[in-house]
Every structure is written in structure tokens, then in C-alpha cells.
Amino acid sequence: MPLPATLFCGLDISMSIGLLLAIILGLAAVGYVIGIRRAKDRAGGDTRRLHSLAGYHGQSVLLFTAVPALLVVGAWLLLQPVVIEARVSGMIAESDVPQGSSLDLVMSDVRRVADGLNAIAANEQLTEDEIAAMGADLGGLRSRLGNAGVALASDVQPSVFEASRTYRQMNNTGLTALSISAILVALAGLVFSASRIQAEFRARNVSESFVKLLFIGSSFVAVLTTFGIIASLVVESVHFFQLYPIKDFLFSLTWNPQFRGGSDLGIWPLLWGTLYVSFVALLFAVPVGLLSAIYLSEYASKRVRSVVKPAIEILAGIPTIVYGLFALITVGPFLRDYFAQPLGLGTSSSSVLTAGLVMGIMLIPFVSSLSDDIINAVPQAMRDGSFGLGATHSETVRQVILPAALPGIVGAILLAASRAIGETMIVVMGAGAAAKLSLNPLEAMTTITVKIVSQLTGDTEFASPETLVAFALGMMLFIFTLGLNVIALYVVRKYREQYE
Amino acid sequence: MTDAVAHPTPHSGSLLRQDERTRRRNNAERRFRLYGQVAIGIAIMALVILLTSVLGNGLSAFRQTFISMPVTLDAAVLDKKGNRDPADLKKVTTIGYSKLLVNSLTQVIEEEGIVVEGLASSDIKDMISDEAAAQVRDRVLGNPDLIGQTVDLKVLANGRIDGYLKGRVSMESAERDSNVSVNQLRLTESLVERGIIGKSFNWGFLTAADASELRPEAAGLGVAILGSAYMMIVVLVLSLPIGVAASIYLEEFAPKNRWTDLIEVNISNLAAVPSIVFGILGLAIFINFAGLPQSAPIVGGLVLTLMTLPTIIITTRAAIKAVPPSIRDAALGIGASKMQTVFHHVLPLAMPGILTGAIIGLAQALGETAPLLLIGMVAFVRDFPAAPPEGLFDPAAALPVQVYNWTQRADPAFVERASGAIIVLLVFLLVMNTAAILLRRRFERRW
């Protein structure tokens, strides 16, 4: 993977932003002290005359100084690249884009040249005029950029050079403007809130309302995250469907991406692999998880329970990469050597069965702890009634408890299924990469998540359908898991209400 | 009841002797119990096999094969002008140092009188890791006084030699392997007998940066551990305040209305969104839209923050809910404001629960791999990131991603490294979870 394009300007930004943040926080601290001093002053040294404790006056000044300024910094950093990108890409005429290339590629060249200019300017202490003069010798510029760590495939086009210079200047002026405006906002907040301080000023109420607003803002982060997920999936999926017909994506039975265009990007082989692996995983996890939950909640002594339950829950705390490695180095070779090859069913160590089994192990604690809760929620009266009629323990479990707990257990299985469908590392390392529609569980198949990873890692170019398809796949995954979750939570909640 | 109809006449005989049907029912009972025990056995066995397989493969990564020998740092080679000028010293490349090491090893072999038939001089060169020369060079550049002296050095042996000592490479496999010869292995054996080649604890595994595909013996976790630590800092700094603030709002202030319901549904659904979707979010929003650098801990930290927020909010809300209402009523009753009640009474009492939740959330974030793959953390990074805050924008690796990275390489020596990295990861997780459990045991109050 080449060095990320925005690396160097990221460095610059971070350095001055770190300083800026320190200044803002320093101002806020100063504001706090000023607030307390001023409040005591206004009270004539007798703090009993203040409506609020002096600390609240300080706190309100602190909040008014820091928070708006920090919000300005955050919003500015998010929007600046977008604005600059739009302005600079306007400078590149249609005719400047070489044959077989795209505006995106030219823009990434622009960014890299700008980074290189930054590096050269920092190394050699150049003025703006000297940098502008470099435009006269574009051949020499290429080698100088190469020395600065930015290797280019060809000489810099004049228009690209101009665009890079503008890009660089706009970035620099943008940063300066940001620093100035953020500090001004902080100072304005400080002066405004400090000037409001009177003995009867309700500083506690003001600062408490302010804090409450911050709380509300924080609780919106979750909503914003969901919004961000949906927006990024939908926007890029729409891009994808403009380049590749949605009909083929949803109904084609072949998955065969080609880097030179003409790919088949049908979702069915991936969907089949996903469902097959998840099915195998559930086939293993549900009986094991459910039976151990039943044993633990109905039969096991307290001592056994206190040892076994945490032991099973350790499985839930192990990161999925560990399961992935387990599939890759232990389970895969074992299944290949003892089942696939003797039976003549396959020669690959990554297979549906490998990924399914390991994923099943991962899901055991999930199924068992959920079922445990649900079985424990069945009222004791039902057990007593069954015992009273002379049923044995197992008959009680099978004919009374399980039917009563069934909706909850179905919910738990659906939740486990949603986990299985969204699981990535185990299938990346255990299931293989071949998109196939086959019934043989010892053959390598691939899943939606594997293909999202493989299409989005490595050298990605954002204009091609082969990359963008990952977003459409992500959307399908999101819809599937969300749907399963909503149904499962509905079922579980409905069932819980029955016995409450 | 149906049974009663099917058997109209109760059977006669002793109550002490089981009849056919009772026996059947008792057998069914026993079988059912057995199923449960077998299920638990399978679960525990899976855990044991999983852990032993990782430990068995990975523990050897903490020991590495070194060659200890006296090396003469010849001034005629390393400092031709004899002025100890750092700029001139830097002109001597690793090739020059490599020759020195080879000469020393050859000399050692001659002195010990080891004769291996058909041993070529290139065989001796390949006994030493390519990385060793670079390490010696760094050491000499850091301390030019060493030039001209003869120092006892412990240099890394080649990965195949290491593999031979660990049983990964054998005489048979060496015959088919172009990277190692049988003669080298014979030489190794005699050197091991004389104590010149041996294994010792591998600090480099924990502190060194990743190494290229051809030098598994030099690959370390330093950059990955640092990158993960940076990300955890970002996650902690962002998700704890935001998560606690959101939980306080939802638990203590939020009116019961549609908005609040929407937020709550949102949080519970976010907790179930597959982690890779968060990676897509990070790629689309933080990298493509906001223009943050790829492979940077700041982006990884932001993505993991969004991912752990639901966990932290859910546990924090549970902890706040567990504080009995009487405490709030008492505070409100003596004239505290709502906010004072929360900050002076509810939060301190809920703190152990909140911290436990935060640690568990962090542990989850530390082991997360999939979203980091999408934001470019798979890149090969050899340079240590700078100190924060600038370092947050430098490219870095992450522990779980490093594991994935190593499993994608061809040399089987990397499997050992990957398992070793998993052990490091698991140790971190163990420490964090133990801390969480202790915290809960020590401070949790039940009302």
C-alpha cells in the first residue's frame, strides 16, 4: 500500500491543532479563575450575597469559553477538506485529465504534489515566491519532489502544479483562519460570560443548563453514528448502482470482479456462503449452548455452576482474531487431513465447515447465557406444578419449560444468527475467498464480509464498481443484521412481558 | 392423563421394583442429563483446545535463536577516514557490517575446529539474519567509540536456523528448501554443542518493529503495541465522557417521549451492528470525507469509540439505575439541584460500575480487528509513531491487525509470531478483565 496521500498535511494540521487546543483550554482555565475572582469582587468579598457559589460563576465562564470554540474547531476540520477539494478540482479543466484517467486520480496527484511542496518548503526554508518559481522548471520539480519522498509517474502538468499550489495555500490559510477564529470565539465567550457576572446572576442555573445541553448532545452521538452509517452506505451504494446495474447485483449468480472492467458482481454466491457458514455455526452452537444452559440452570450444583459458567463465558471475551487464527492453524488443517482428503471432498484447509465450527464455538456462550436468562425467567410455579403431577425433571424441561421459553429461545437464536452473519475475522481466515454456489461443506466458499474486506483493502480506487460494491454489500449486511435484531428483540420483549 | 387412559389397570407388584415404563422414564432422564454434561464438556473442551493450540504455537515466539561471538569492529572497514565523523560513518552500509559479522563467524568456526563438508562461504553468511547487520550498525552509530574494539555480540540467527532449533525445520525439509542447506544445519548442530548458538528471551519480539517477509526472526510487536495503546487512549478519552454524559441524560433527565425512545432503540441496535460496518463508516466519513490520514491511530480510535459507545452507555445506565432512588430523594430533599444530585451522589456511587463497563468496553475495542482492516491499518509500518498528539496522525499498526498481517505471509515462522502476538493480546485482555472483576468485587455495593 502506498503511503497515504494526506499524511504530511495531517502532520502539519495535528501540530498546529494541538497548540490551538492547548490555547483554548488555557483560556478556559483563565476564564474559570476570572469568573471566581469577579464573582467574589461583585459580592464585595461577602460570598453570601451571591446567588450561586463562586465556583459556578467560574464554571459558566469556563464552559462558554471552551465549548463553542471547540465546536468551531471540530466543524471546521470536518468541512475544510470538502470546501478546498471542491474549489481546487474546479481549477482542473476537463481537457487536463489524461486519457484513461479520472478527475479523482488527478486530484490525488494534486494532493501528493502539495504534500511534496510542503516537505520541500519545510526542508529548504522557501518563500511563496520561490515555490511559485518552481513552476517554471517542471522537469526539475519532479526530481525534487522525488527527493522529498513523493515519487511521481510523470512530469507535473502545469495545471496540476497550479492546483497544488492553490491547494497548499488554501490549506495553510484555512488553518490560520481556523486558529484566529477559534481563539476569537473563545475570547468572545470569555468576555461575554465574564461581563454577565453579577451578585444575583444565576450562574448555577446557567451552567447546569449548559451541562445538560452537553449531555443531550452526547446522547445524540449514537443517533449521528447511525445516521453516518446509513448515509455512507447509501451514498456510496447509489454511486455503485450508477456504474453497475442493480438488477445484476441482486440476481446474477456469479461473482467475478475484474480489475479491467467487465466484472460480474452478483451477490448470490456471497449470500449463499454467508448463510451456509452461519447455518453450520448455529447447527453446532444451538444444541451445545442450549443443552449446557439447561444443565447449568436445572441440574448443576451451585459449585459446578460457579466454575463452569465463567469458563464458558471466557469464550465470549476472546477476540475474534483469536478464533480466526485457531481456524487457520488448527481446525482447518485438521479437517483437511482427517475428513476432506480421505473422503475425497476437497483439498483446501479453509472451508465452510472450518469457519462454521469455529464460529459455532464463538457463539456457544452467546446462546447459552441468553437461554440461561430465559429459562430462569420461567416461573418456578410451572416447574412445581409439573413435578407435582409426577413428571421427571427431564420431562418437565422438555414439556413445560422449553415450550414456555420457546419464543425467548427463538429470539436468542435469531440474535446469534445476526452475529454469525456479521462476523468477519473468522470467515476471512477460515472460509476462503472463492465465491461458489456449492453444497459441499468441505469446500472453500466466501461470505459478504470477506468480500467487503478484500474489496476495500489494498490499493483502492474509489471510482470503480469493484471497490464501490463493498458499500452495497455493507448495506445488505446492515439490512440483514438489523432486520434480524429488530425481530429478535421484539420476540424477546413480547415473551418477557408474558411472565412479568 | 392420556397415559392413564392407555393403562386402565394399574399394575400390580412391588413398589420397590421398577416396572418397564418407570425404567424407561428414568433412562430418558439419565440420558437427558448426559446430553447436558456432554454439551458442557464440548464447550469446555473447545476452550481448552483453543487456548492450548494458541499457547503451544506461540510460546516459542518469546525465545529466539542468537549467535554469540566476539566481533571485531574493524576501524579500517567502518571508518576509513579515521575521523569518527558521523556523516562518514553513515556512509558504511549494512553490507559492510554484514561482512564483518561473517568474518567473525568464519573465524569462530575455524578456531573451534568445526569442519562441515561442502560448506560454502555463502552458507556461513546465511546463518546470520540480514537484520543483524542493521542492528549492529545502529549500535555503532549510536556509540562510535566501539569502533576498533572487539565486542561480544549476540546477533540474530537466520529464521530457518531458529526454525531448526524449534523443530520447524528438519534435515528432510532443508533438502527441499532453497533458503537453507543441510550443511548449515550440520554446522548449527556443532555450534549449538559448543554453546555458540542458543536460544534466549526475545525482547525484540515485544519492542522491535515489524520486519519484511524474508526476516521473520526480526519481526516484533513494538509498533503494534504502541499503535493499540494510542487507539485505546483515544477511545478512553472520547468514549468515557460521551458515554457517561449520554447515560446520565437518558437515565436522569430525559423526558419519556418519542425522541428518547428513538435514541434508546438506536443505541441497542448500534450495539448489534457488525463491527465491519463501523469500518465502512470510518473509511467513508473519517478518511474520504474528513480527509484524515489512513493507517492513523486517530481514525482507528474514532471508529472504535463509536463501536464501544453503546457498550459503555448500556453498562453505565445499568450502574446508574442500580443507585437506589432514596439517595436521590434525600439529596433533592435537602435542597440540592438535580445536577448536584447527579454529580455529588449518583455518579460517585455508580463509579465502580461505570469503570467496570469502561474497562470491558476497552477490552472489546482492543481485540477488534475487522474495522481496522478497512481504514488501512494493514499497511506495513516500520517506523514508530511520534509521541501524542502528533503521533496519533502517524501511520501505525495495531495488535490484532498485526496478527492478521502475519498470518497472510508465506513463511511458516510467521505463524509462530502470530500466535505469540495473540498471547500478548490475551495477556493484555486478561489484565484488563481482572482489573474489572477486582474493581467490581472491591467497590460494588448492593442495596
pLDDT (tens digit per residue) in B388-410: 777 788 888 999 999 999 998 88
The neighbour count for residue B123, using CB atoms within 10 Å, is 17
Same domain as B285, residue B174: no
Does a structural domain hold residue A15?
yes
The three-class DSSP label of residue A264 is strand
Boundaries of domain holding B424: 222-443
Boundaries of domain holding A363: 264-499
* Residue spans of chain B under pLDDT 50: 1, 4
Same domain as B196, residue B237: no
Of B230, B279, B180, the closest CA to residue B387 belongs to B230
Cβ contact (<8 Å) for A477 and B276?
yes
Q: Cis bond leading into B8, ω under 30°?
A: no
Inter-helix orientation angle A402-422/A465-499, to 10°: 160
The DSSP symbol for B345 reads I
Helices (H), B64-168: 75-78, 86-89, 94-112, 121-125, 130-142, 159-165
Same domain as A312, residue A164: no
Chain A residues with beta carbon closer than 8 angstroms to that of B272:
415, 418-419, 481-482, 485
Same domain as B233, residue B165: no
How far away is chain B from the Cα of A252, in angstroms, using its nearest Cα?
24
Does a structural domain hold residue A250?
no
Of A159, A149, A27, the closest CA to residue A89 belongs to A159
Of A307, A362, A309, the closest CA to residue A331 belongs to A362
C-alpha cell at B401: 491487525
Contacts of A500 (CB under 8 A, 6+ apart): none
The three-class DSSP label of residue B324 is coil
Same domain as B258, residue B369: yes
Q: Compare CB distances from B370 to A291, A424, A478 and report the shortest one's residue.
A: A424
Does a structural domain hold residue B34?
no
Task: Answer yes or no: are the C-beta atoms of B346 and B323 closer than 8 Å.
Answer: yes
Cβ contact (<8 Å) for B46 and A361?
yes
Interface test with B, best of A6, A12, A214, A215 (most B CBs within 10 A): A215
How far away is chain A from the Cα of B50, in angstroms, using its nearest Cα?
6
d(CA A412, CA A491): 9
C-alpha cell at A147: 527527493
Of B48, B404, B45, B413, the closest CA to residue A430 belongs to B404
Cβ contact (<8 Å) for A477 and B277?
yes
Number of domains in chain B: 2
Same domain as B226, residue B185: no
The residue out of B172, B201, B230 marking a domain boundary is B201
Q: Please report, for residues A97, B168, B180, the alpha-carbon distance to residue B171 in angstroms, rounded to integers and kept in the order given.
A: 59, 10, 10
Nearest-CA residue of chain B relative to A56?
B340
Does a structural domain hold residue A224?
no
- Confidence at residue A8, expressed as pLDDT on a 0 to 100 scale: 40
- Confidence at residue A67, expressed as pLDDT on a 0 to 100 scale: 92
Same domain as B291, residue B421: yes
Cβ contact (<8 Å) for B276 and A328?
no
C-alpha cell at A249: 447485483
3-class SS letters over A166-234: HHHHHHHHHHHHHHHHHHHHHHHHHHHHHHCCCCCCCHHHHHHHHHHHHHHHHHHHHHHHHHHHHHHHH
Chain B residues with beta carbon closer than 8 angstroms to that of A221:
242, 246, 306, 309
- Confidence at residue B265, expressed as pLDDT on a 0 to 100 scale: 87
Buried b (16+ CB within 10 A) or exposed e, B295-308: bbbbbbbbbbbbbb
The CA-to-CA distance between both ends of chain B, in Å, stands at 47
d(CA B95, CA A175): 45
Same domain as B184, residue B149: yes
Task: Answer yes or no: are the C-beta atoms of B377 and B398 closer than 8 Å.
Answer: yes
Cβ contact (<8 Å) for B404 and A311?
no
Report the Cα B321 to chain-centroid distance in Å.
34
Residues B216-233 pLDDT 10s: 888 889 999 999 999 999
Nearest-CA residue of chain B relative to A480?
B273
d(CA B52, CA B40): 18
- Confidence at residue B337, expressed as pLDDT on a 0 to 100 scale: 92
Does a structural domain hold residue B310?
yes
Does a structural domain hold residue B256?
yes
Same domain as A473, residue A330: yes
Cβ contact (<8 Å) for A317 and B395?
no
Cβ contact (<8 Å) for B426 and A318?
yes
- Confidence at residue A14, expressed as pLDDT on a 0 to 100 scale: 53
Contacts of B284 (CB under 8 A, 6+ apart): A232, A233, A235, A236, A471
Same domain as B330, residue B273: yes
The residue out of A198, A216, A234 marking a domain boundary is A216
Task: Answer yes or no: are the C-beta atoms of B152 and B70 closer than 8 Å.
Answer: yes
**CATH number of the domain enclosing A485:** 1.10.3720.10
Contacts of B300 (CB under 8 A, 6+ apart): B227, B231, B234, B282, B371, B372, B375, B377, B398
- A-B contacts at Cβ under 8 angstroms: 293
The neighbour count for residue B355, using CB atoms within 10 Å, is 19
Does a structural domain hold residue B30?
no
Task: Answer yes or no: are the C-beta atoms of B219 and B283 closer than 8 Å.
Answer: no
- Confidence at residue A126, expressed as pLDDT on a 0 to 100 scale: 67
- Confidence at residue A136, expressed as pLDDT on a 0 to 100 scale: 66
Same domain as B230, residue B193: no
Same domain as A273, residue A175: no
Cβ contact (<8 Å) for B313 and A478?
no
Chain B residues with beta carbon closer than 8 angstroms to that of A471:
280, 284
How far away is chain B from the Cα of A109, in angstroms, using its nearest Cα?
15
Same domain as B254, residue B128: no
Does a structural domain hold residue A251?
no
* Helix and strand counts by DSSP (H, E) for chain B: 21, 3
Nearest-CA residue of chain B relative to A211?
B339
How far away is chain B from the Cα of A363, in angstroms, using its nearest Cα?
10
Nearest-CA residue of chain B relative to A22?
B389
Q: Which pTM was predicted?
A: 0.87
Phi, psi dihedral angles at B201 (to 5 degrees): -60, 140
- Report chain A (500 residues): mean pLDDT per 10 consecutive residues: 40 66 92 92 84 90 92 85 79 69 71 76 69 69 71 72 81 85 92 88 91 92 91 91 88 82 84 94 95 92 91 90 93 90 84 94 93 88 93 92 88 92 92 85 90 81 81 93 88 69
Number of domains in chain A: 2
Same domain as B289, residue B373: yes
- Confidence at residue A233, expressed as pLDDT on a 0 to 100 scale: 93
Q: Compare CB distances from B288 to A7, A295, A462 and report the shortest one's residue.
A: A462
The three-class DSSP label of residue B150 is strand
C-alpha cell at A380: 418456578
